[in-house]
Amino acid sequence: MTDLNVVKAVQEVLVVLENVEGNPMVSSIMLAEAFGRSHSHVMRSIDGILESDEIVVSTYKAERREEKCYYLNEEASLLAMPYIGGEKAKLGQRALVTAYMNLRDNAPSLPQFNNALASLDTARMDKIEDGKNFRAGIKELKNKASELRAQVKYLKASRESILSGLDSVHPKLSAHFRKTKL
């Protein structure tokens, strides 16, 4: 949890407000998660009731392509929530209202909110960078493992070649070395 309690948990439902263009907003992705609905359903609900000046249109990286998503200010998200529904509708509504109320109660000024969100954004970017470094490390380990497998294959072939040569000179010694495992 942050100093301003931007993240508020209500019975295992989280709503995270994000700093979008200097304003506290919630994403359609977060609403889908909080309400237990598919993101496409939430997008259709928002499309049907909100004006374009109440939302910020953005994109996010889906499985293999860019997908559209919305960021809603407090008024827009409160207008949209009765139309979203979902298996966790009541919990989602409570979590959304609580997140905005908590922001009002604990964040007396927008600059403090923006600073808190900026630190969250920095932490998120650090985690993304850590993930990239982790993936690079995994790739490096895979490359080393591949090199080691090639070396083992070469050594086995060399051993077999040496043992074949030894067969003609000293068959008993060759048989002894073939029984030993490396």
Domain that residue 71 falls in: 7-107
Same domain for 88 and 29: yes
Same domain for 116 and 67: no
pLDDT of residue 113: 62
Same domain for 68 and 11: yes
Same domain for 85 and 34: yes
* Domain total in the chain: 2
Same domain for 79 and 115: no
Same domain for 164 and 100: no
- Nearest-angstrom CA–CA distance, 78 and 129: 34
Instruction: Report the predicted TM-score, pTM, of the whole model to 2 decimal places.
Output: 0.51
pLDDT in tens, 2-56: 433 444 444 466 678 887 877 888 899 989 888 889 999 999 888 877 766 677 8
Looking at 84, 107, 130, the residue that finishes a domain is: 107
Same domain for 144 and 97: no
What sections of the chain are H helices per DSSP? 28-35, 39-49, 74-84, 89-106, 110-169, 171-179
Asked if the structure places residue 2 within a domain, the reply is: no
Asked if the structure places residue 1 within a domain, the reply is: no
* Weakest-pLDDT range from 42-46, 114-118, 123-127, 150-154: 114-118
Same domain for 90 and 153: no
Same domain for 123 and 93: no
Find the mean pLDDT for residues 101-118: 66
Residue 55's closest CA among 34, 37, 76? 76
Selected residue with higher pLDDT from 131 and 47: 47
- Nearest-angstrom CA–CA distance, 110 and 101: 14
Q: What are phi and psi of 131, to 5 degrees?
A: -65, -40
